[in-house]
Every structure is written in structure tokens, then in C-alpha cells.
Amino acid sequence: MREALFIKQNTERWKQYELNKTKDPDELADSFISITDDLAYAKTFYPNSKTTQYLNGLASGFHQSIYRNKKEKTNRFVTFWQTELPVLFYTYRRPMLFSLAFFLVFTLIGMLSAMYDDTFVRLILGNNYVNMTNDNIAKGDPFGVYKVESSSLMFIYIAINNIYVELRMYVLGILFSLGTIYNLMLNGIMLGSFQYYFFSKGLGIQSVLVIWIHGTLEISALVLAGSAGLVMGNSLLFPKTYSRLVSLKRGAVDGLKIAIGIVPIFIVAAFLEGFVTRHTEMPVAASVAILATSLAFIIWYVILYPARVNHKLNLLQPHIDETSF
């Protein structure tokens, strides 16, 4: 059948599906089966056409409606971190990769700038911090800054600040992703100049063993926050088969879920910074163990586990291509 005839025979039915979505589970199921049949036909005979893209978007909408109305067998709080958030990590793996790439490039810029300009570190970190750290180095306690405040106050302040930073990074994604990229730039340049400063003092390895006790989770979550902002911003830039408003709503909700989902990682990182990092005299083996455990968790929960969950879901339901920004 020619594509034009296929469209002519079904376009009215598709419009009814799009405009008059029922909440009745049986009707939703019947409509979903019908539209997936059309999608399978279109994928077979018109794989690269706009009709196939349109039907894929329509089928995805029905799938989400059915999923939302489905009764949860377990606690919603548990299933969010057990299934929903990992699926989002897998669906939006490209924005996560772009967020990481942007951050690494800006970190490298920060390192090179500090390397070739002696005043750059003071410009980024501030004179007070640099002077205080120089004094601590002279006293033989280069990371004494982590011992100034009480553990509890430090934990609370850092947790609140980090969550504020990540939510701001997400919200600024509304500026066509530019706001998020700008914040990735600020944090990346700061990290690069900060890390180079300690290497220039001959404290590179020691700084990694101390600072990255909390930094592994904190920086990883920061990159994920960047991806949340990119998800929302790119939904405006690349709406694909959806209207720009519908695409923005989807991107904003999914981005917010990612931003909320990584809050516990920021809290754990703040706990480590407040209560553990200050113990700079701890054995190297203990530092390495914390670093390795944190990195292993990020790799497992953000990369390996989401792929496994996505594979299981594909085995249990008809394949629908998710919109990926």
C-alpha cells in the first residue's frame, strides 16, 4: 500500500486517538494495540518517513497513559529509584554524555588557565581561600579548611548549597540549555583550577585521596544535574514529533525527576565532606576504598543497572522508541 493511501485511510482515527484520549483502561488498551499495529506496519514499509515518527510519538503517549494508570505492586517511593530513575538514565544517556563532555572540557580549560596564568587561581577561588590554604600548607595541614566548622553544621550547609546549585542548573536549562552549559562551565573551570593548585604545590596525589572522598559522588551528581538541565533545554530545541509545548512538558518533567532522584547522592556526598574528609590522617587504604566504592556505585547505578532494567522492560512489552534528546 502506498504511504499516501495508508495515511488517508487512517488519519481520522489517529486524530481521534490524539485529541480524545480516554481514561478507561480497556479503551486505552484497545487504542494502544491498534496504534502499535499501525506503527509496526509503518516501520516495515515506511521506516524513515514522518508518518512512522508521528505514530511512534502517538504510541509512546498511549504507553505512558497506561503506565500511569497501572496499579503499582510495590511502594511508589521504592519503584522510583528501583525502576523509573534508572530508565530515565538509560533513555537520556546522550544528554548525560554531553554533560560529562562539557564538564571535562571546561575542567581542562580551568587547569590550563591556572597553569599559564599565576593569578587565575586567585581570580576563581578568591584571595581569602588561597591565602588560608597557603597558611595551612605552611603549617603542615594543607586540607585544614575541612576542619574549621563542626561536622554537623558543615554537612547541613554543604547539602543545602549543593542541592541549590543542582536545582539552579536544572532550571536554567529552560534557556535552550545555555544556562545549564554556563553553570557547567563555572563549576568545571573552578574544579580544574582548584585541582591544579594542589598539584602545583606538590600535593596532587594527597589532594585526590582526601578531596575526592566526597568529590567522587559530588562531581558525578553535578554532571547528572547538568544532564537534567539539558533534557529540558533540548526538549525546546528538538521537539521532534511533538509540538514544542508538549515536548517541553515532557522534558521538564523528566529532567525534574532526574534532578530530584540525585538529591540523595548530594546528601551522601555532603555527609562524607562534613564527617569523613576532615580525617586527613586516615590510612591510604581507607581513602582508596571510599573512592573505589563511590565510583563503582556511580558506574553501576547510572550506566550498568539502567541498561539491565531497560533490557528487561523491552522483553516484557512491545518495543517503542523513546524520544531521546
> Do the Cβ atoms of 232 and 249 come closer than 8 Å?
no
Q: What pLDDT does residue 20 have?
A: 65
Cβ neighbours around 304 below 10 Å, total: 12
Mean pLDDT of 30-38: 78
**Who wins on pLDDT, 61 or 218?**
218
66-81 confidence digits (pLDDT tens): 665 555 555 778 889 9
| SS3 (DSSP) at 57 | helix
CA 273/CA 194 separation, integer angstroms: 16
244-285 confidence digits (pLDDT tens): 898 999 999 999 999 999 999 999 999 999 999 999 989 999
> Do the Cβ atoms of 175 and 233 come closer than 8 Å?
yes
Hunting for cell 564538564 — which residue is that? 103
**309: its cell numbers:** 532494567
CA 174/CA 183 separation, integer angstroms: 13
pLDDT for 318 beyond 60: no
Cβ neighbours around 203 below 10 Å, total: 17
Alpha carbon distances (Å) from 155 to 2, 93, 139, 211, 291 = 65, 30, 25, 15, 19
Alpha carbon distances (Å) from 67 to 174, 249, 261, 317 = 27, 17, 19, 11
Domain chopping of the chain, boundaries? 3-71, 79-316
pLDDT for 65 beyond 90: no
pLDDT for 216 beyond 50: yes
